[in-house]
Amino acid sequence: MKKLLGTLVLGISCITASYAQQEMVLEGTYQGANIYVQNPFSSSGVGFCVVNVTINGQQSIDEINSSAFEIDFSSYQLKRGAPVEVKIEYKDECNPTVLNPDVIKPTSTYVITSMNITPDGQFAFSTSNESGELPFIIEQKRWNKWVKVATVKGKGNSDKNEYSLQLKPHSGKNTYRIKQVDFTRKPRYSQEKRLIRSSVKEVFIGNDNPMRIAENLFFKDDSGKETATMYEIFNTKGLIVRKGYGSKVDMSGLAKGDYFVNFDAKFGQIIKKI
């Protein structure tokens, strides 16, 4: 009886070992291309490494018993940009290789179909031909450079997508553009959109003497009212020491000396901390 029990335990252990396996999961969006897998023999020399493949939870119908095989998405009626999850189960003593994993990474393919901005900064744009939920970065031309002012999550649909958000324009003429970056790290830009004149009043440094600032730097309009604006403050080494959006800036923690301020549409105005 003991001998029979030992034989059963050994048999169960062998069965468990033979089915021991690992799992590889690939997640992304369908881009119109298939995945190719290099599939070596298992180390035991019996059978191939991969034992099962599923796509979005459905059993793959592809032939996997070969040294290389294709995961064909055409049978799953996927639209471009649709979410994809591929699970590859394989024996634990070998490793399959996915030859082209980037084909399910979202790519920047958007087309801007409209883009508008109102004088008070209401920004709206529409796209088509998106192929994944990549973020859109809104940039504004400020202070002789492009500055990131907002981010919107892309919807990823191939048909029409509409977006709307509130921006903070500076006084006078404003220029905006849209940027998107995919896994290639190469940015794609829209055409520029110009707002000829915003409804924002011109902003000035509101301190009585900008060359004698002890604690706070103030921003005011021409009536003397404190006014919020986007700003950057640099030291004489060119390092940003303060940045943000507001009507005043706490300077008390900064060392004494000269600083340069970008605010509203103004660039490089000098102030002194005492």
Task: Give per-residue pLDDT as tens, 184-224.
Answer: 999 999 999 999 999 999 999 999 999 999 999 999 999 99
Kindly list the domain boundaries of the chain, sorted by start residue.
21-104, 111-195, 204-273
**CA 27, 28, 29, 34 torsion-angle sign:** negative
CB-CB contact of 257 with 235 (8 Å): yes
pLDDT of 136 strictly over 80: yes
Q: Do domains 111-195 and 204-273 have the same CATH topology?
A: yes
For residue 9, what is the enclosing H or E element? helix 2-19
For residue 16, what is the enclosing H or E element? helix 2-19
CATH 3.30.300 describes domain 204-273: no
State residue 150's pLDDT score.
97
State residue 44's pLDDT score.
78
CATH superfamily of 111-195: Immunoglobulins (2.60.40.10)
Rounded to two decimals, the pTM is 0.80
Determine the Cα–Cα distance for residues 215 and 201; give it in Å rounded to an integer. 25
